[in-house]
């Protein structure tokens, strides 16, 4: 891993995100709970055959509920995070999975999409980050990786820091930049064919699992799920700068 990081010029190591501890804990739980589940199934079918059958039927329900809980533990801890480790460095990261070891520099990444952050009452919000590179490939990191939110914030910041000046320069040069369903140019922001000029945009924000565009000239609110908008933080910052520029231009025109 160290050799691979050196070959890709990733710099000094920063932090390790390791899902293998959760896998090992899951194995221990399975060793403790598995035999009990098998015994409960055997007992349920025994009573279905020998009687009393009502006790066997009740045992079947309890056994399947128990095994369902065991599967939930197995799926959440062992299957999704089995063998997954991410090493973060100054200039990129190294991912270790069951399929191999892969290194990726920050400047090779082109987009980060944050998914699944809608809050559900009584439940911890899940976090999932989909990363794409220049060739259209990429990877996904989710809450099977301990500390994934911290790593996701690093991904968003590092990729955004590199993508923002490029895309802002493209817009200022007259190009149209696309962020999922949004399109941005010097004149305004477009969603589903509806254009809102910058002077009519009150705010563009990302939060609560959505990207929200509020108009200054109407109560209408345009919303898109965050998991459909790559580089949402970059979109928000570009919109803020272009909207501020339009406001200053309008103020100068009013004084003239």
DSSP per-residue letters across 177-192 = EEETTEEE-SSEEEET
Read off the pLDDT of residues 201-215 as tens digits, 9 standing for 90 and up. 999 999 888 999 999
Q: What is the mean pLDDT of the chain?
A: 84
Give whichever of 22-36, 122-136, 142-156 has the largest mean pLDDT. Answer: 142-156
How much of the chain, in percent, has pLDDT values that exceed 90? Answer: 48
Q: Is the pLDDT of residue 199 over 80?
A: yes
Read off the pLDDT band of 23 (50, 70, 90).
Answer: low
Q: What is the pTM of this model?
A: 0.76
Range of lowest pLDDT (23-27, 81-85, 92-96, 219-223): 23-27
Instruction: Tokens for 118, please give them.
Output: 């809608």
Instruction: Tokens for 44, please give them.
Output: 């349920």
DSSP code at position 198: G
Helix residue spans in the chain (DSSP H): 2-7, 20-50, 53-74, 148-172, 232-255
Q: Are 86 and 93 in contact (CB under 8 A)?
A: yes
Mean pLDDT across 94-115: 91
Q: Is the pLDDT of residue 145 over 70?
A: yes
Per-residue pLDDT, 162 = 95
Q: Is the omega angle on the peptide bond into residue 81 within 30 degrees of 0, that is, cis?
A: no
Please state, in angstroms and rounded to a whole number, the distance separating the CA atoms of residues 204 and 4: 40
Read off the pLDDT of residues 57-76 as tens digits, 9 standing for 90 and up. 777 777 777 667 666 666 55
173 versus 40: the higher-pLDDT residue is: 173
Q: Is the pLDDT of residue 239 over 90?
A: yes
Beta bridge partners of 130: 113, 140
Please state, in angstroms and rounded to a whole number, the distance separating the CA atoms of residues 245 and 251: 10
Per-residue pLDDT, 35 = 73
Q: Is 252 exposed, middle or buried (0-12, 13-18, 19+ CB in 10 A)?
A: exposed
CA Rg, the chain, in Å? 25
Please state, in angstroms and rounded to a whole number, the distance separating the CA atoms of residues 207 and 82: 31
Per-residue pLDDT, 30 = 66
Give whichever of 18-22, 81-85, 108-112, 250-254 has the largest mean pLDDT. Answer: 108-112
């Amino acid at each position: 891993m160290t050799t691979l990081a050196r070959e890709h010029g990733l710099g000094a190591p920063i932090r390790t995100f390791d899902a293998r501890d959760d896998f090992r804990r899951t194995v221990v739980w399975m060793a403790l709970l598995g035999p009990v589940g098998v015994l409960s199934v055997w007992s349920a079918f025994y009573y279905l055959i020998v009687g009393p059958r009502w006790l066997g039927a009740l045992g079947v329900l309890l056994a399947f509920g128990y095994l369902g809980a065991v599967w939930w533990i197995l799926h959440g801890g062992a299957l999704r995070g089995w063998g997954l480790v991410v090493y973060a460095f100054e200039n990129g990261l190294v991912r270790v999975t069951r399929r191999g070891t892969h290194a990726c520099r920050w400047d090779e990444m082109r987009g980060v999409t944050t998914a699944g952050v809608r809050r559900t009452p009584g439940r911890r919000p899940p976090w999932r980050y989909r990363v794409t590179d220049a060739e259209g490939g990429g990877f996904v990191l989710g809450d099977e990786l301990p500390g994934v939110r911290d790593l996701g914030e690093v991904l968003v910041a590092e990729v955004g820091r590199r993508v923002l000046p490029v895309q802002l320069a493209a817009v200022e040069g007259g190009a149209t930049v696309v962020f999922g369903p949004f399109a941005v140019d010097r004149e305004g922001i477009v969603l589903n064919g509806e254009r809102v000029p910058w002077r009519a945009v009150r705010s563009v924000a990302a939060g609560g699992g959505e990207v929200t565009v509020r108009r200054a000239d109407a109560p209408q609110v345009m919303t898109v799920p965050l998991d459909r908008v790559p580089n949402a933080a970059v979109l928000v910052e570009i919109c803020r700068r272009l909207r501020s520029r339009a406001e200053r231009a309008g103020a100068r025109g009013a004084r003239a």
